[in-house]
Each structure stands twice: as C-alpha cells, then as structure tokens.
Structure 1
C-alpha cells in the first residue's frame, strides 16, 4: 500500500505556536517552546542566541517527563 506524506500533512490541525527563532540573520533555525530545556536557548545550528516568537504549526504534544526548563 502507498501512503502519501503530503496527504497526511493536510489533515493535521494547525495553531499559532510559541517558538524560539535564531537571531543570526544567516541562520533559519527555530524550535518549539515546549521542546526547549532552558530559559534562554541557543541555536542548535549556529550557537547564536534565540528570541521568542510565534509560528503557525501542526499541533504536537510533548509527553516527555524530562521537560523542566532551567
């Protein structure tokens, strides 16, 4: 059987999600706020500081028991 990933993405509900965006203009790194383990994260790609913003993304729930921001 064949399942198209594009078809599945269209069915996922989206909402405005809090994210952290890289402040380096040459980098397009970002991460969801509920997957960050520190109060002020750094970019995993270029190690620059990140700033808080929002982005329309599919809904994802973080069920990790280790989700404590330090």
Structure 2
C-alpha cells in the first residue's frame, strides 16, 4: 500500500505585540490583544510585565479590544 503525506498548510507569521514577564525564572508572556489590563501582571507568578514584540502565528481575536470592553467589578 502507498500512503502519501498531505502537504501541511503554511502558517502565516506576523510580528505581534506581547507582554513579557520581568522575573528571570518565569517564561510567562501573553499577546497584547488578549490582555485585560493596560499593564497586566503575569498569570504565572504575578510579577509585572513589560511590552515587547514576537514573531507568532497570526490569530484573530473576535471579541474586540478586551481592555475597552471590560466593564464591572473584578471578582476574586
């Protein structure tokens, strides 16, 4: 029998604005358009984060700008 591997679809990469954790031992980061706060804390270690860029696969965030649409009181 002969099986041919299908050609993989090419993933489009783009330079993306991200937040990086400032703690050296933590590798935490998040895309800026998925962050809720203007200056988020790391979700892994709660350290402050700094803005940077990364080359990442293109994603669409269909829920608009989460920072603008966020309303109400924070629930702990």
Q: What is the Cα deviation at residue 25 of structure 1?
A: 0.3
1:18-57 paired onto structure 2 within 5 Å = 18-57=17-56
Aligned length: 64
Q: Quick one: distance in 1 between partners of 2:55 and 2:65?
A: 25
Q: Which runs of 4+ in 1 moved over 6 A?
A: none
> Over the residues paired in the alignment, what is the CA RMSD in angstroms?
2.2
Q: Quick one: distance in 1 between partners of 2:52 and 2:64?
A: 25
Q: What is the Cα deviation at residue 12 of structure 1?
A: 1.1
- Segments of structure 1 that go 5 or more residues without pairing to the other structure are 1-6
TM-score of the two chains, using structure 1 as the length reference: 0.80
Q: What secondary structure is seen at the aligned counterpart in 2 of 1:27?
A: coil
TM-score of the two chains, using structure 2 as the length reference: 0.74
